[in-house]
Amino acid sequence: MANVLFENVSKSFSGANGKDVQAVSGLDLEIRDGEFMVLVGPSGCGKTTTLRMVAGLESIDTGSISMDGVQIDEWHPKDRDVAMVFQNYALYPHLNARENISLGLKLRKYPKKEIHQRLDEAASMLGIQDLLERMPDQLSGGQRQRVAVGRALVRRPKVFLFDEPLSNLDARMRLQMRMELTQLHQKIGATMIYVTHDQAEAMTMGDRIMVMDRGLLQQVAKPVEVYQEPLNTFVAGFIGSPPMNLLCITWNQESHTWELGDQTLNPVPPLLDTPYARQQGSFKVGFRPECARLSEPASTAQTHPTPLKAQVAWLEPTGADTFVHLTMGKEKVVVRQPAAAAWQPGQVVALSIPQDALHCFEVAKGCRATVAG
């Protein structure tokens, strides 16, 4: 077990057109001893590069990477005491499961008895004792992935690196393996860095999650904190399914109100009720799909907060809930409703957003607005 410290780590590649691609920019981060850290972000944001730099499969341009206080970024990969599990499993096709799992230990000249012991332990932890004599092409996707995890487990590395290990599995197997890997982490308590582009996987698995976009770390925090207090519009729009609704509002100097299209937003969060905010003139406001109420327009004429007028565009039933997609002028909004609610496409509805459900972001950079200004 170990902690992993990134200090100002950057990495660029030369792109096809002669322009450099900045894969990771100035990464500062400490991953704690025994932590399950999930690195999440869209394709191309620098996740794999970050893992490969820890494993030593990629050099770094600037900064340093340390493990337990020792700088390791110039060490040979085999000296780093990390084990990586890849999306495509990377099993040797001509070796059976047992040989695949134990190969690393054999090459490192571990005694036979030790290899057997570790193999047995890993196989029973992963429930693959009966599969050890099979060749990779005789295993299902989930079984192959377990063998790949087994190969990492027997190494007993200080740090496990997982690069989208569940992406090639079908939906049901993905859920199963999610649970198994989480339980495995609870059992062995090792430091794990887990990469995924799937925000649901990140939310359910991570002790903390780090969200990246275009090589830049956007936020690192516990999953619920990232969900409830996204630091910017990128994180707000990436975490959550469907993501947070984000709408533009502008200050109307004549009516002294915040306008959302041709409607008035009332009440507004305290943050917007300041000279600074009025001087800024425009903001993005966000709210989660489950935080707004829908009602018949007439029934709520006198209610608080003042409802906004919206029109139902289409319905997305998911079983327990239905996502109701609405249009409000040029803006699109999604609201989560119980499946039993009988909204119809085309219907005009009243949308009420409680004041404390509203998040405010600066327009220019998309970062969470603060009173300081």
DSSP 222: -
199 binds Mg ion (CB under 5 A): no
Residues of this chain that interact with ligand ADP (CB under 6 A) are 13, 21, 23, 41, 43-49
Q: How far is the CB of 24 from Mg ion (least distance, A)?
A: 12
In terms of CB distance, is 40 or 67 closer to Mg ion? Answer: 40
Q: Quickly count: other Cβ atoms within 10 Å of residue 318's Cβ.
A: 10
Binder to Mg ion among 27, 40, 48, 151 (CB under 5 A)? 48
Q: How far is the CB of 327 from ligand ADP (least distance, A)?
A: 33
Residue nearest to Mg ion (CB): 48
For residues 28-65, b (16+ Cβ closer than 10 Å) or e, as one string? ebebebebbbbbbbeeebbbbbbbbbbbbebebbebeb
Which CA distances in Å does 337 have to 293, 342, 362?
Answer: 8, 9, 29
Measured in whole angstroms, how far is the alpha carbon of residue 302 from the centre of its chain?
41
In terms of CB distance, is 39 or 236 closer to Mg ion? Answer: 39
Of 46-54, 123-131, 216-224, 233-241, which part binds Mg ion (CB under 5 A)? 46-54
Strands (DSSP E) found in the chain:
4-14, 20-31, 36-40, 62-67, 70-71, 82-85, 159-163, 191-196, 208-213, 216-221, 245-252, 257-260, 263-265, 282-287, 293-295, 308-317, 321-328, 331-338, 348-352, 359-362
In terms of CB distance, is 45 or 271 closer to ligand ADP? Answer: 45
Question: Which does residue 49 bind out of Mg ion, ligand ADP, none, counting CB within 5 to 8 angstroms by kind?
Answer: ligand ADP
In terms of CB distance, is 41 or 157 closer to ligand ADP? Answer: 41
Q: How far is the CB of 235 from ligand ADP (least distance, A)?
A: 16
Q: How far is the CB of 150 from Mg ion (least distance, A)?
A: 22
Question: Which does residue 21 bind out of ligand ADP, Mg ion, none, counting CB within 5 to 8 angstroms by kind?
Answer: ligand ADP
Interface contacts to Mg ion, rule CB under 5 A: 48
